[in-house]
């Protein structure tokens, strides 16, 4: 959970950086007569049309399929046990109401108020008994007021059973089309686009800085279970390690650099390196590094070194087999090679910044800085989104796949194909901003 030190740091920085930060709830005015409202995402555009047709039942079906976010005082969320689900409620004109929102309308994260995610059946269970009205997308052009009674709660549960599937949210490009959480083209947007593989796989909006993810407590749980991050200090450490490319094994790029060395020696007109020559160069370079450090580098002198040499020589063949598959699947062009797996750490760094913000381990300025650094790292290592993607996929495969070409590969291949073809993809809308030429 959030540490006392992390919470104090956030409050201090937010007081300085967010002087007029009163965005507790969305406030979006109705469009002028005759003006088409540009909703944040397709979901809000759809329910807005349904409201104009007075089709509230269809609106409810959308909510049942998508789920909603509900506000909670952060202190209440932090104090709640796993089976407790506090909600923010308010009383007006003798009636008690509780607000919920679709994801695209969520406001800028606030230090004192968080948003939790729930499907419609769970909302039916956790809305306090005293609540009279559920206010859906309050103070927006797609506001819907629902009376809360047993019949309505039963309907929400039934619709959820018909419409909701937890595995239906991933594998899609989600783009925010409006809202002040969407930066203009530039370093921030480029850094956000570096997380596109993960955004696609999780079905997250790729271009928003107003990050709530899968809800405050679920973001905390995700970081703990997948990354071992349980505090602000943990997040700061892993974020820096990702940005400086210290999470992936150093020797992956060491092996790739050995091939670059051979290519440079052979001249610019060839992209072919013999496997045996590459293996020999890897071994010779590694043993020379050990010699310079004062170690015994000769074969047979150090069993650990000899074992590591065998591993790296084997890695050459593994990379070549992956690249052959990448070319066959269109992830690399004919004759294309992966020069670095920097994207594997850089892409995850882009999402780690947002995950940290969702869990309130990261301050808003820290998230901004990390996202911009991720973009800068990508531009320093690559020349295009396609090249970036190939590096990311190879890193993921070396990390997880073990040459099975199973779901760890096929799912990210699907992401690549969508991201290079979908009109809403950041890779078709965000310029790569001119990567540095690395003297190839």
Mean pLDDT computed over 261-272: 77
Q: What is the three-class DSSP state of 69?
A: strand
Check residue 77 and give its pLDDT. Answer: 98
Q: Token pair of 393, please?
A: 């996929």
Check residue 179 and give its pLDDT. Answer: 84
Q: Using alpha carbons only, what angle is made at residue 222 by residues 219 and 225, rounded to the nearest 5 degrees? A: 150
Mean pLDDT computed over 59-82: 96
Helical packing angle, 150-163 and 56-66, nearest 10° = 60
How many CB atoms sit inside 10 A of residue 243's CB?
Answer: 22
Q: Between 338 and 161, where is the model more confident?
A: 338
Out of 265-269, 317-321, 419-423, which region has the weakest mean confidence (pLDDT)?
Answer: 265-269
pLDDT digits (tens, 9 = 90+) for 5-32: 333 334 333 333 433 367 899 999 999 9
Which pLDDT band, with edges at 50, 70 and 90, does 270 fall under? Answer: low
Check residue 167 and give its pLDDT. Answer: 76
Residue 286 and residue 198: Cα distance in Å, rounded? 34
Half-sphere exposure of 51 (CA within 13 A, CB side): 18
Mean pLDDT for the chain overall: 91
Out of 58-67, 72-81, 156-165, which region has the weakest mean confidence (pLDDT)?
Answer: 156-165
Paired with 71 in beta bridges are 115
Q: Which helix (H) or strand (E) holds 294?
A: none
Check residue 21 and give its pLDDT. Answer: 65
Q: Token pair of 408, please?
A: 């760890």
pLDDT digits (tens, 9 = 90+) for 208-226: 999 999 999 999 999 999 9
Residue 21 and residue 12: Cα distance in Å, rounded? 13
pTM: 0.91
Check residue 18 and give its pLDDT. Answer: 32
Q: Is 155 exposed, middle or buried (0-12, 13-18, 19+ CB in 10 A)?
A: middle
Q: Token pair of 215, please?
A: 């809800």
337, 329, 352, 350: which is closest to 420 by C-alpha?
329
pLDDT digits (tens, 9 = 90+) for 168-209: 788 999 999 988 899 999 999 999 999 999 999 999 999 999
Asked whether 77 and 217 are in contact (CB, 8 A), the reply is yes
Residue 137 has pLDDT above 50, yes or no: yes
343, 339, 340, 363: which is closest to 353 by C-alpha?
363
| Exposure letters 247-260 (e unless 16+ CB within 10 A, then b) | bbeeebbebbebbb
Asked whether 40 and 177 are in contact (CB, 8 A), the reply is yes
pLDDT digits (tens, 9 = 90+) for 86-104: 999 999 889 999 999 999 9
């Amino acid at each position: 959970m959030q540490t006392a030190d992390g919470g104090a740091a956030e409050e201090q920085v937010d007081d300085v950086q967010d002087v007029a930060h009163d965005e507790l709830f969305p406030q979006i005015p109705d469009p002028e007569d005759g003006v088409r409202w540009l909703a944040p995402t397709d979901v809000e555009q759809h329910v807005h049309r349904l409201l104009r047709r007075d089709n509230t039942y269809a609106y409810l079906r959308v909510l049942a399929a998508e789920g909603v976010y509900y506000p909670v005082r952060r202190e209440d969320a932090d104090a709640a046990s796993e089976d407790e689900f506090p909600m923010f409620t308010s009383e007006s004109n003798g009636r008690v109401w509780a607000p919920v929102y679709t994801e695209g309308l969520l406001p800028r994260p606030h230090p004192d108020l968080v948003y939790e995610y729930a499907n419609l059946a769970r909302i039916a269970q956790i809305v306090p008994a005293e609540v009279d009205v559920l206010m859906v997308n309050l103070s927006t052009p797609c506001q819907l007021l629902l009376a809360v009674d047993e019949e309505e709660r039963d309907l929400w549960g039934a619709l959820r059973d018909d419409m909701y599937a937890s595995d239906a949210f991933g594998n899609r490009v989600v783009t925010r089309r409006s809202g002040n959480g969407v930066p203009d083209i530039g370093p921030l947007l480029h850094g956000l686009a570096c997380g596109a593989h993960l955004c696609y796989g999780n079905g997250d909006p790729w271009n928003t800085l107003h990050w709530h993810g899968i809800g405050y407590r679920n973001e905390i749980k995700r970081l703990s279970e997948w990354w071992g991050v349980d505090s602000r200090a943990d997040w700061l450490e892993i974020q820096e390690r990702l940005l400086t490319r210290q999470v992936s094994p150093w020797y992956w790029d060491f092996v790739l650099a050995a091939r670059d060395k051979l290519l440079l020696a052979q001249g610019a007109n060839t992209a072919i390196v013999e496997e045996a020559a590459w293996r020999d160069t890897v071994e010779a370079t590694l043993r020379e590094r050990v010699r310079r450090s004062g170690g015994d580098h000769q074969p047979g002198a150090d069993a650990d070194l000899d074992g590591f040499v065998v591993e790296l020589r084997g890695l050459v063949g593994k990379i070549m087999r992956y690249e052959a598959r990448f070319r066959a699947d269109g992830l690399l062009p004919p004759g294309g090679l992966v020069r670095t797996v920097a994207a594997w750490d850089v892409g995850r760094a882009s999402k780690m910044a947002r995950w940290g913000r969702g869990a309130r381990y990261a301050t808003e300025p820290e998230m901004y800085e990390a996202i911009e650094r991720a973009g800068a790292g990508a531009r320093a290592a690559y020349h295009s989104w396609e090249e970036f993607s190939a590096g990311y996929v190879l890193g993921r495969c070396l990390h997880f796949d073990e040459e099975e070409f199973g779901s760890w590969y096929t799912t990210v291949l699907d992401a690549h194909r969508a991201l290079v073809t979908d009109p809403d993809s950041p890779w078709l809308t965000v310029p790569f901003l001119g990567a540095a030429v690395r003297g190839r």
